[in-house]
């Protein structure tokens, strides 16, 4: 077996830890060096992951002199590589540059920050002015956007199926809401709690967009990722909260697999146990509630969801029924025994989630 | 050598799958070397990914390893994009 010779990453998985321990103590630095680095890196990643799971991501102090209640945005350019965060290209207060992707990411971070601050009095993702970082132009033809636990990352899309992921404001709102969830309920990203995590991101992603457009629940399109699909794709968006399962039906992409009710709940091990599939169910419940109440969805429906997410009672491994029960409690606490409470109960009933 | 790649998750939650049989390829040696290095760094069980990150399953001649964004090695990234692009 080769234990050195340039393929250092091989140490990561095929060499057992006890062998690494031995190698790390070896007199020959050629053997000891990589083993030590691997142990350190593994320990760091493991501790980092554990801390992120247990207590949420570390809070980065806002830069000195930064005002509370103002965003602290930084946009980075990966220049089609995969090193994060990449080269700094725009910081808070700087004028727009020539790169439209950078400008959209910066504006989207701002719109999301404003929504959480003005509607829910939340100062950034962690409620304490966390700087908002985003990297654009990640990798080549990269058909995705994600939250890595500390920042947002956007691909340019391949132009064939997906366009630039910064074109949809709800996608930016969705990613930052993953940060809010991580700093609050910290829902486990697997199975039903994972689908709730996804759904909460869709709900607030959509609300960020509705808020910026000043739309009522009746006026909103309730789509996630509208404008993201390339022209040749048969579809309007990636998900529909109004009618889950109808966002696209395309020869290359296939058909939108989202269920709207528990009758069609999908059991799968893929996609972290179907987190992007079964999120259709709580998404639809939110849409039903918001449209039943009418007016601006971020006001009462959004407030109830926000109260549950941040109230401290939502368990990390919460199931749909646990979440639903807490929305009833939140509705009663905030609005009493009125139309809100009744509408929340009806919304869950219509998607087949039983409440007490 | 038969190399299969399955990608799941991602913001869109759309699954993609492709495979390459290196026996039909003039550059079989290059593919095999890349696949071996990519698999050497793979995991036996799916790693916990990040929200909306892609998860990957790489199967080479029946043996499957797992990986997830953004923690891919360069070889894994190269193999995955080549198989998804050039494979059937």
Cα–Cα distances in Å, from B30 out to A144, A327, B24, B75? 28, 56, 13, 12
The DSSP output letter for A265 is P
Radius of gyration of chain A (CA): 22
Question: Does A226 lie in the same domain as A129?
Answer: no
Neighbours of B61 (CB within 10 A): 12
Contacts of A143 in chain B (CB under 8 A): 10, 12
Task: Summarize the confidence of residues B31-51 as an average pLDDT.
Answer: 93
Please state whether the peptide bond connecting residue A165 to the residue before it is cis, i.e. omega within 30 degrees of 0.
no
Q: Measured between alpha carbons, how far is A266 from A274 in angstroms, rounded to an integer?
A: 7
Is residue A159 within 8 Å of residue A176, measured between CB atoms? no
Q: Select the more confidently predicted residue: A329 or B88.
A: A329
Q: Is the pLDDT of residue A51 over 70?
A: no
Say whether A272 and B37 touch across the interface (CB within 8 A).
no
Measured at the CA of A282, the angle between CA A280 and CA A284, to 5 degrees, comes to 65
> How would residue A66 be classed by pLDDT, with cut points 50, 70 and 90?
low
Instruction: Quote helix, strand, coil % in chain B, to nearest 5.
Output: 35, 30, 35
Question: Does A197 lie in the same domain as A235?
Answer: yes
For residue B17, with 0-12 CB atoms within 10 Å meaning exposed, 13-18 middle and 19 or more buried, which class applies? Answer: middle
Q: With H, G, I as helix, E, B as strand and everything else as coil, classify residue A231.
A: coil
Residue A64 domain-assigned? no
Question: Does A318 lie in the same domain as A213?
Answer: yes
For residue A57, with 0-12 CB atoms within 10 Å meaning exposed, 13-18 middle and 19 or more buried, which class applies? Answer: buried
Contacts of A276 in chain B (CB under 8 A): 9-13
Structural domain including A158 reads: 73-167
Question: Does A152 lie in the same domain as A117?
Answer: yes
Decide if A8 touches B, using CB distance below 8 A.
no
Question: Does A157 lie in the same domain as A97?
Answer: yes
Q: Is the pLDDT of residue A252 over 50?
A: yes
Question: Does A252 lie in the same domain as A284?
Answer: yes
Is residue A112 within 8 Å of residue A73, measured between CB atoms? no
For residue A34, with 0-12 CB atoms within 10 Å meaning exposed, 13-18 middle and 19 or more buried, which class applies? Answer: buried
Please tell me the distance in Å from B64's CA to the nearest CA on chain A. Answer: 14
For residue A24, the model assigns a pLDDT of 54
Question: Does A37 lie in the same domain as A103?
Answer: no
Which of these, A137, A141, A168, lies nearest to A153 by C-alpha position? A137
Is residue B16 within 8 Å of residue B84, measured between CB atoms? yes
Q: Measured between alpha carbons, how far is A287 from A291 in angstroms, rounded to an integer?
A: 6
For residue A35, with 0-12 CB atoms within 10 Å meaning exposed, 13-18 middle and 19 or more buried, which class applies? Answer: buried
For residue A198, the model assigns a pLDDT of 97
Task: Summarize the confidence of residues A113-124 as an average pLDDT.
Answer: 98
Q: Write down the catalytic residue from A72, A150, A175, A198.
A: A175
For residue B68, the model assigns a pLDDT of 94
Q: Measured between alpha carbons, how far is B88 from B67 in angstroms, rounded to an integer?
A: 21
Residue A340 domain-assigned? yes
The domain ranges of chain B are: 2-86
Alpha helix positions (H), A6-99: 11-14, 17-24, 29-55
Residue A263 domain-assigned? yes
Question: Does A163 lie in the same domain as A24?
Answer: no
Residue A150 is among the residues annotated as catalytic for this protein: no
Decide if A49 touches B, using CB distance below 8 A.
yes
Is residue A34 within 8 Å of residue A4, measured between CB atoms? yes
Task: Summarize the confidence of residues B40-60 as an average pLDDT.
Answer: 93
Residue A60 domain-assigned? no
> The pTM is what?
0.84
> For chain A, how many structural domains are there in total?
3
Question: Does A220 lie in the same domain as A161?
Answer: no
Which of these, A233, A206, A192, lies nearest to A323 by C-alpha position? A192
> How would residue A11 be classed by pLDDT, with cut points 50, 70 and 90?
very low
Question: Does A197 lie in the same domain as A153?
Answer: no
For residue A6, the model assigns a pLDDT of 34
Task: Summarize the confidence of residues A65-73 as an average pLDDT.
Answer: 82
Residue A338 domain-assigned? yes
Q: Which residues of B touch A (CB under 8 A)?
A: 8-15, 37, 40-43, 48-55, 69-73, 77
Please tell me the distance in Å from B48's CA to the nearest CA on chain A. Answer: 8
Question: Does A132 lie in the same domain as A224?
Answer: no
Is residue A135 within 8 Å of residue A78, measured between CB atoms? yes
Residues within 8 A of B (CB atoms), A 132-191 only = 139, 143-149, 153, 162, 165, 171, 174-175, 178, 182, 189
Is residue A256 within 8 Å of residue A279, measured between CB atoms? no
Residue A47 domain-assigned? no
Say whether A178 and B10 touch across the interface (CB within 8 A).
no
Measured at the CA of A253, the angle between CA A250 and CA A259, to 5 degrees, comes to 85
Contacts of B51 in chain A (CB under 8 A): 146-147, 175, 178, 182, 189, 197-198, 201
CATH number, domain at A101? 3.10.170.10
Residue A276 is among the residues annotated as catalytic for this protein: yes
Residue A55 domain-assigned? no
Residue A7 domain-assigned? yes
Which of these, A2, A1, A3, lies nearest to A31 by C-alpha position? A3
Residue with tokens 């247990």, as numbered in its chain: A54
Question: Does A133 lie in the same domain as A272?
Answer: no
CATH number, domain at A234? 1.10.390.10
Please state whether the peptide bond connecting residue B15 to the residue before it is cis, i.e. omega within 30 degrees of 0.
no
How many Cβ contacts (< 8 angstroms) between chains A and B? 92
Among A134, A167, A200, identify where a domain stops.
A167
Q: Which of A43-47, A66-70, A314-318, B13-17 has the highest mean pLDDT?
A: A314-318
Which of these, A244, A237, A248, lies nearest to A264 by C-alpha position? A244
């Amino acid at each position: 077996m080769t234990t050195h010779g340039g393929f250092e990453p091989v140490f990561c998985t095929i060499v057992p830890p006890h062998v690494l321990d031995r190698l790390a103590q070896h007199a020959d630095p050629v053997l000891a060096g990589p083993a030590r680095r691997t142990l350190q890196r593994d320990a760091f990643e493991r501790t980092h992951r554990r801390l992120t799971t247990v207590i949420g991501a570390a809070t980065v102090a806002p830069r000195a002199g930064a005002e509370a209640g103002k965003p602290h945005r930084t946009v980075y350019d990966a220049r089609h590589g995969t090193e994060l965060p990449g080269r700094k290209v725009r910081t808070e207060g700087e004028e727009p540059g020539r790169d439209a992707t950078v400008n959209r990411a910066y504006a989207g971070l701002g719109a999301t920050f404003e929504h959480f601050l003005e509607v829910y009095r939340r100062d950034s993702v962690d409620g304490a002015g966390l700087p908002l970082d985003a990297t654009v132009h990640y990798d080549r033809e990269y058909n995705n956007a994600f939250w890595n636990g500390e920042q947002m990352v956007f691909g340019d899309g391949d132009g064939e199926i997906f366009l630039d992921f910064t074109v949809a404001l709800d996608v930016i709102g969705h990613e930052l809401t993953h940060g809010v969830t991580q700093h609050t309920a910290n829902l486990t990203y697997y199975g039903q709690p994972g689908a709730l995590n996804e759904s909460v991101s869709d709900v607030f992603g959509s609300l960020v967009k509705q808020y910026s457009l000043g739309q009522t629940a009746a006026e909103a399109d309730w789509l996630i990722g509208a404008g993201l699909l390339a022209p040749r794709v048969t579809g309007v968006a990636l998900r529909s909260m109004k009618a889950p399962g109808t966002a696209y039906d395309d020869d290359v992409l296939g058909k939108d697999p989202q269920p709207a009710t528990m009758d069609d709940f999908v059991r799968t091990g893929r996609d972290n146990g179907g987190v992007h599939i079964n999120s259709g169910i709580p998404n639809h419940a939110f849409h039903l509630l918001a449209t039943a109440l009418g007016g601006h969805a971020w006001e009462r429906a959004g407030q109830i969801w926000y109260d549950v997410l941040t109230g401290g009672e939502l368990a990390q491994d919460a199931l749909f029924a646990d979440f639903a029960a807490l929305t009833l409690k939140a509705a009663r606490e905030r609005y009493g025994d009125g139309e809100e409470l009744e509408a929340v109960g009806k919304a869950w009933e219509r998607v087949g989630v039983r409440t007490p | 050598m038969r190399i299969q790649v399955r990608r799941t998750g991602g913001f869109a939650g759309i699954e993609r799958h492709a495979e390459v049989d290196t026996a039909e390829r003039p550059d079989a040696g290059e593919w095999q070397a890349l696949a071996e290095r990519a698999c050497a760094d793979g995991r036996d069980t799916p790693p916990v990914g990040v929200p909306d990150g892609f998860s990957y399953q790489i199967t080479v001649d029946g043996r499957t390893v797992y990986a997830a964004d953004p923690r891919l090695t360069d070889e894994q990234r190269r193999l995955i994009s080549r198989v998804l692009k050039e494979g059937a």
